[in-house]
Amino acid sequence: MDSFELIIIGSGPAGQNAFFEALSLKKKVALIERENWLGGVSLNTGTIPSKALREAIYSFYEINQKKSLFRQQGKYHPVFWSTYLLPRVADVVGAEKKVLEKKLSGFNAPLFWGEAAFLDQKHIVVQGSRQEVVLQAEKFLIATGTKAAVPESIPFNQSTIVDADHLFRIEQCRPPLAIIGSGIVALEYASMFACLGLEVELFVKTDSLLPYIDSQIRSYFLEILARQRVQIHYRCADWQVTEKPSGAQITTPDGNKEFGLVVYAGGRQADIDALRLQEIGVQLNEKGFISIDKNYQTSVENIYAAGDVAGAPATASAARIHGRRAVRAIFGSSGAEIHYLPVFAIYTIPEIAFTGPCTEELKKQNLDFVEGSAYYENLSRAAIEGETQGFLKLVFARDSKKLLSAQAIGARCSELVHLAQMAISYNVGIDYFLNGFFNFPTYSELFSLAAFAAAQKF
């Protein structure tokens, strides 16, 4: 029987980064993957394909709607999905897979294909399509991520009624579109498909969207969604989906409507069913994710967990870091504690990004602050690129004038906020932005304009 110092289950961002970290520490480590691909939800069904789809749609949107020069050159046609959008997504995913495979092949490290299940605290069985192996390890890292949490009441046919994990398997995308869900995935898809010129309706249980982001950014985004003609049905939990020859029908207390495609993006759950965790005593939290402490250790001493399987923040960016840190914690090497300031991005059109607390949060903390905003419509770079929607808000402490947070909506803001992340982490004050050198014309100039707006208020 093969024996290892560490076995990692799952090859998504958490598992693969844990694997590389363990290899760099010269540990005897194995990686197990159930699917016949590497990279997890991130590379195969989530982050990369959805962002590749966004960029493909964006090129279409740019030509047809954004730049007045080309306005209304063409309209979306359903064959577009299979002839242009899906192939583009497949190209991007394929290229990313090659990068990952090349990286892995450089290590010549053991990779087992199959579904892992615990036999006891030190042994797992890996059930592959051709063979079954039992492996032993001193330590295990569970990085099995999540799967779409789907209600049994929906008659998924993965053609006209799909969950978010199967969107890229459908052959046709016919409007009108219904999206069920209020989270980031639902909003990203709603905004993308609306920018393709499709009629989109969003069905949400709650009475608000993105309650945790800055309220000014939220209001601005909702106005854009309205201009994109996304129709939002709030407080709508009482719906029924039925299959129809034309696609699907959604029935609510307000009536029936037929759609070409219904996408269910109503949440995710830990992908742990196959692992037989109950038998070895790994405890879950109240939301069904694996409970871990600050060192990623579960309730069982030699078993650790990282990434989405342990719950929030449930992003690939966090899972990558958590995977690496978990390995450092397991082997007692330095750097297991998290010291970074997170950056969050929501890839709607336009994108939303932020780092540091929003103004509502700062008020709750009784912090006295001064804010200044700069609008894309006043920016030369934005005019050149036809990206005039959006703004960047910088928030400074009134007493020290240090930057506390940056909240933004607009083109490339998911890149821009990293400058704020660095500035906050290194206690940079407003003078840096007032007197600093910003190339012209750039989007980075927003920092200087926002700082000037804030400086008037001190």
Binding site residues, ligand FAD, CB under 6 A: 9-15, 32-35, 40-42, 46-47, 50-51, 115-116, 143-146, 164, 185, 271, 274-275, 307-309, 314-317, 319, 347
- Report the residue number whose CB is nearest to ligand FAD: 145
Rounded to whole angstroms, the Cα distance separating 10 from 451 reads: 44
Rounded to whole angstroms, the Cα distance separating 114 from 38 reads: 12
User: Which residue lies nearer to ligand FAD by CB, 15 or 372?
Assistant: 15
User: Which residue lies nearer to ligand FAD by CB, 302 or 442?
Assistant: 302
User: Which residue lies nearer to ligand FAD by CB, 44 or 448?
Assistant: 44
* β-pairing verdict for 111-113 and 29-33: parallel
CB of 44 to ligand FAD, least distance (A): 7
User: Which residue lies nearer to ligand FAD by CB, 244 or 418?
Assistant: 418
CB of 17 to ligand FAD, least distance (A): 8
User: Which residue lies nearer to ligand FAD by CB, 11 or 448?
Assistant: 11
CB of 371 to ligand FAD, least distance (A): 27
CB of 13 to ligand FAD, least distance (A): 4
CB of 275 to ligand FAD, least distance (A): 5
Rounded to whole angstroms, the Cα distance separating 262 from 264 reads: 6
User: Which residue lies nearer to ligand FAD by CB, 40 or 260?
Assistant: 40
CB of 373 to ligand FAD, least distance (A): 25
CB of 43 to ligand FAD, least distance (A): 7
Cβ partners under 8 Å of residue 32, min gap 6: 7, 8, 9, 10, 111, 112, 113, 114, 116, 124, 126
Cβ partners under 8 Å of residue 415, min gap 6: none
User: Which residue lies nearer to ligand FAD by CB, 289 or 369?
Assistant: 289
User: Which residue lies nearer to ligand FAD by CB, 241 or 314?
Assistant: 314
CB of 344 to ligand FAD, least distance (A): 9
